[in-house]
Amino acid sequence: MASSKDRSGIAAELPTDSRPGKALPAKMRAGYRAAAPAKINLYLHVVGKRPDGYHLLDSLVAFADVHDTVIALENDTLDLRVSGPLSDGLAGEGDNLVLRAARRLAEAAGIVPRARLKLIKRLPVASGIGGGSSDAAATLRALSALWDVRPSAAELHTIALGLGADVPVCLGGRAVHMAGIGETLMGAPRLPPAGILLVNPRKPLATPPVFKARQGPFSEPDRLAQAPRDAAELARLLETRRNDLMPPATLLMPEIEAMLGALEATAGCLLARMSGSGATCFALYPDAAQATAAATRLIKAHPGWWVAPGRLVDDVAKVQPQA
């Protein structure tokens, strides 16, 4: 790894949203700001299990523009401040993925980790949308810019995978087919614009118990071979696929069934499904306006739920980080 000033050809080796003209973290006074979007498993098949107990997956992953924000500022030491409407979910967590990502990047760069990190938490924790993984990926982007380091693609992948199975796909920041335990990323057809609505019961659901409760045979991979023309065609293609973790997750958290029913009953809903290992569920709509209208209805009917409308995106470069 070297400073990005060492030679030309920098842009090709920076993280996806650190590339000039792509999703360069927003420059601030003495620092950078990066979005950490919600990761959405549009479908998720469990296709096998390794001898060490890790399950093998086949999943089409995209993102929603609903996001956390990571801010990296110059500082003499490394510290983290967490704020935002869902910051209570991280209360008492002394060393989270944001700090671990910072230390791993500094170690790989051979520098002392010095930064004041701020995490604005809007996504629920332990909810199946990769909030912590996306926070870690955003930290790597922001600090690569702040520290002026240029990790190679291989170095970044190694750092990301060492932080968690979902961090590589969040770092890549584009819609992909994900295989293995999350380390194998393959190109996916371009996804059409669509509205999306995320709903969570404000209850965490840990991933290991969901996999442990899964029963039955393994599924086959079923990657998309064509680019959907619009949101309706995307939903039709996804209907022939599923999330294999939804049945065990629903056994552990029955609220998932209620959320799916509520989403399916909203006007314009094209598809309702659980993301990841749950408990967050999502619905796809023809556009963001219909997703917002559905959100208004659900907020009134279920005031205890976390409800967040937005847009489905196939590239996190399209997400502008909120302050």
Give the domains, in start order, of the chain with CATH numbers: 2-185 (3.30.230.10), 189-313 (3.30.70.890)
Return the DSSP state at 130. -
β pairing state of 78-83 and 115-120: parallel
Q: Residues 237-256, buried b or exposed e (16+ Cβ, 10 A)?
A: bbeebbbbbbbbbbebbebb
Chain centre to alpha carbon of residue 10:
26
How confident is the model at residue 39, as a pLDDT? 98
pLDDT > 70? residue 20:
no
Cβ(24)–Cβ(18) below 8 Å: yes
Taking alpha carbons only, the member of 65, 323, 2, 99 closest to residue 198 is 65
**322 CB-near residues (< 8 Å, 6+ apart):** 35, 67, 69, 120, 122
Per-residue model confidence as pLDDT tens digits over 268-315:
999 999 999 999 999 999 999 999 999 999 999 999 999 999 999 999
% of the chain surpassing 90 pLDDT = 87
Residue 9 has pLDDT above 60, yes or no: no
Instruction: Name the residues annotated as catalytic.
Output: 39, 166
Per-residue confidence at 8, pLDDT binned at 50, 70, 90? Answer: very low
The residue to which tokens 């399950």 are assigned: 55
Please say whether the beta carbons of 66 and 123 come within 8 A: yes
Provide the pLDDT confidence category of residue 7 given band limits of 50, 70 and 90. very low
Q: How confident is the model at residue 18 (pLDDT cuts 50, 70, 90)?
A: very low
Task: Give bridge partners of residue 142 from the DSSP assignment.
Answer: none
For the cut 50, the answer to whether the pLDDT of residue 200 exceeds it is yes
**Cα 92 to the chain's mean position, in Å?**
23
| Whether pLDDT at 13 is above 60 | no
Inform me whether the pLDDT recorded for 115 exceeds 50.
Answer: yes
Which residue blocks in the chain are alpha helix, DSSP H? 97-109, 131-146, 153-163, 167-172, 207-213, 231-239, 246-252, 255-264, 288-301
Tokens of 65: 């523009």
At 252-275, the pLDDT tens digits run 999 999 999 999 999 999 999 999
Cα separation, 312 vs 197, in Å, equals: 9
Q: Are 139 and 72 in contact (CB under 8 A)?
A: yes
First-to-last C-alpha distance (Å) of the chain? 30
Q: pLDDT by residue (tens digit) across 119-146?
A: 999 999 999 999 999 999 999 999 999 9
Separation between Cα atoms, residue 191 and residue 234, nearest integer Å:
8
Strand partners for 118: 71, 81
Q: Select from 70, 302, 292 the least CA-distant residue to 194.
A: 292
Mean pLDDT over residues 186-213, rounded?
97
How does the average pLDDT of the chain come out, rounded?
91
- For 296, the token pair is 């208004």
Residue 313 CA to residue 263 CA, distance in Å, equals: 20
Query: Could you give the CA distance from residue 142 to residue 171 in angstroms, rounded to a whole number?
Result: 11
% of the chain residues with pLDDT over 70? 91
Question: Closest by alpha carbon to 61, among 157, 139, 154, 168?
Answer: 168
Residue type, 62: A
